[in-house]
């Protein structure tokens, strides 16, 4: 096989960039569809006592109000700032946080610095996706169980505080798709064209007359 010209590798690079863009399209689309299944774009507002008593119904995108937050919380720091997260023990206002049957675990999925994390227990509303019961990560469960041994952490209601991606995710997927699909087409077509142009010519087929094939002059 002959050596590929520089133009070929330019098209390879375009295809690689397109591949990354299409991966983002897939990720954002899956997350957007997931959130649309879980709840509406606009969260419903529920008091903590009502959420814990009656649940959220089909729209699990909720803003929880009337809460009391325990001062102790689980802090987990990631490599990047957006990987920081906290787990909070929350109960309806007027109830001691951690009371069995009246407790919600709130997972704040990201914050910028430790000072922001310290403000979490002072909040009186949280917006996120509600799950009636959720298995917490083992490290978080172990830390919470030390401070709240009476909590049934395997079945405790759970609120994930994060951005709702139902519409924003589809919008990002569309933007990356507009870029990724044409780049992929250009990259693949370009590689095919360059490969054909640089393909070495086939050796000519010599016509052998019957007399030569038989070894006669």
For residue 52, what is the domain's CATH number?
2.40.50
pLDDT at 51: 94
* Residue 206 counted as domain residue: no
Same domain, 130 and 172: no
pLDDT at 83: 66
Same domain, 194 and 91: no
Would you say 110 and 84 are in contact if contact means Cβ atoms under 8 Å apart?
yes
pLDDT at 48: 94
pLDDT at 217: 54
pLDDT at 205: 55
* Residue 205 counted as domain residue: no
Q: Which residues contact 25 (CB under 8 A, 6 or more apart)?
A: 173, 176, 177, 180
Same domain, 91 and 122: yes
pLDDT at 127: 93
Same domain, 92 and 110: yes
Last residue of a domain, one of 117, 146, 163: 163
Same domain, 5 and 71: no
Task: Work out how many domains the chain is built from and give that number.
Answer: 2
Ordered per-residue pLDDT tens for the chain, 217 residues:
557 788 888 888 988 998 998 898 998 888 889 888 998 999 999 999 999 999 999 999 999 999 998 887 777 776 655 567 888 889 999 898 888 889 999 988 876 666 776 777 777 889 999 988 777 777 778 878 887 888 888 888 989 998 888 777 778 888 888 888 988 898 888 888 888 887 666 655 555 555 555 555 5
Same domain, 100 and 66: yes
Same domain, 13 and 58: no
Query: Token pair of 100, please?
Result: 């069995």
Same domain, 46 and 139: yes
Same domain, 101 and 159: yes
Same domain, 180 and 108: no
Same domain, 89 and 11: no
pLDDT at 214: 55
* Residue 20 counted as domain residue: yes
pLDDT at 46: 95
Would you say 206 and 51 are in contact if contact means Cβ atoms under 8 Å apart?
no
Which residue segment(s) compose the domain that 149 sits in? 42-163
* Residue 204 counted as domain residue: no
């Amino acid at each position: 096989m002959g050596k590929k010209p520089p133009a070929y590798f330019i098209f390879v690079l375009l295809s690689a960039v397109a591949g990354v863009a299409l991966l983002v399209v897939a990720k954002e689309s899956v997350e957007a569809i997931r959130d649309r299944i879980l709840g509406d774009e606009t969260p419903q507002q529920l008091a903590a006592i009502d959420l814990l008593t009656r649940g959220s119904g089909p729209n699990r995108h909720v803003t929880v109000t009337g809460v009391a937050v325990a001062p102790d919380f689980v802090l987990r720091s990631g490599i990047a700032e957006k990987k920081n997260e906290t787990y909070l023990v929350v109960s309806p206002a007027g109830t001691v946080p951690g009371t069995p049957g009246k407790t919600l675990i709130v997972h704040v999925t990201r914050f910028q610095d430790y000072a922001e994390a310290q403000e979490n227990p002072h909040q009186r509303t949280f917006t996120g996706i509600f799950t009636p019961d959720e298995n917490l990560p083992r490290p978080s469960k172990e830390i919470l169980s030390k401070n709240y041994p009476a909590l049934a952490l395997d079945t405790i209601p759970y609120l994930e505080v994060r951005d709702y991606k139902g519409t924003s995710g589809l919008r990002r997927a569309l933007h990356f798709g507009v870029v990724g699909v044409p780049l992929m087409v250009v990259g693949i077509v370009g590689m095919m064209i360059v490969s054909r142009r640089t393909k070495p010519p086939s050796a000519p087929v010599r016509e052998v007359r019957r007399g030569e094939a038989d070894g006669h002059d």
